[in-house]
Amino acid sequence: MSNRTDCTTRRRGMTLMELMVSVAILSIMILGFSNVLSQTQRVVNDSQRLMKANAAVASISQLMRSDFRSVSKIGFMKIRGDFIAFSTAGPSFSLTSNQRGLGKFIAYRVTDDLGNTATDKEVLCRQAFVLSETGITPDVTPMDVWGLDLANLQAQNPTALSSLADTIDTNASYQPQVAVPPMSVANFKSSWQVLLNGVQSNFGIRYGQVFIEYDPSNPSQIKRRYITWTTTAGQTWHRFDQNGWPDFVSIQFGVMEKSGQYEGLRAAGGAIGGSRIFEIVCGINR
pTM of the model: 0.75
**Cβ pair 196, 123 in contact under 8 A:** yes
CB atoms within 10 A of CB 256: 23
The predicted-structure confidence for 91-115, as pLDDT tens digits, reads as follows 888 888 888 888 899 999 988 887 7
Residue 19, in any domain of the structure:
no
pLDDT digits (tens, 9 = 90+) for 141-182: 678 888 888 888 888 888 888 888 888 888 888 888 888 877
Q: Is the pLDDT of residue 265 over 60?
A: no
Structural domain total, the chain: 1
Instruction: Please check whether residue 6 lies inside any domain of the structure.
Output: no
The string of DSSP codes covering 141-179 is --SSEES--HHHHHT--HHHHHHHHHHHHH-GGGS----
In a domain, 186, yes or no: yes
- Domain-embedded: residue 40: no
Q: Could you tell me the residue range of the domain that residue 133 belongs to?
A: 73-283
Asked, for residue 16, whether it belongs to a domain, the answer is no
* Contact in structure between 147 and 105 (CB atoms under 8 Å): no
Instruction: Determine, yes or no, domain membership for 43.
Output: no
Determine, yes or no, domain membership for 101.
yes
In this predicted model, what pLDDT tens digit does every residue of 27-83 receive, in sequence order?
Answer: 888 887 777 777 777 777 777 777 777 788 888 999 999 999 999 888 899 998 889
Q: At 285, is the pLDDT very low, low, confident or very high (cuts 50, 70, 90)?
A: confident
Pairing, β 145-146 against β 122-132: parallel
The overall average pLDDT reported for the chain is: 79
| Dihedrals phi, psi of 244, to nearest 5 degrees | -95, 0
Q: How far is residue 68's CA from residue 71's CA, in Å, rounded to a whole number?
A: 5
Mean pLDDT for 4-26 is: 69
Is 138 among the domain residues? yes
pLDDT score of 286 more than 70: no
Burial class (CB within 10 angstroms; exposed 0-12, middle 13-18, buried 19+) of 212: exposed
- Least confident interval from 131-140, 170-179, 269-278: 269-278
Give the mean model confidence (pLDDT) for residues 248-272: 58
Q: In this model, does residue 18 exceed pLDDT 80?
A: no
- Among residues of the chain, what percentage have pLDDT more than 90? 17
- What is the residue-wise DSSP string for 39-69? HHHHHHHHHHHHHHHHHHHHHHHHHHHHHHH
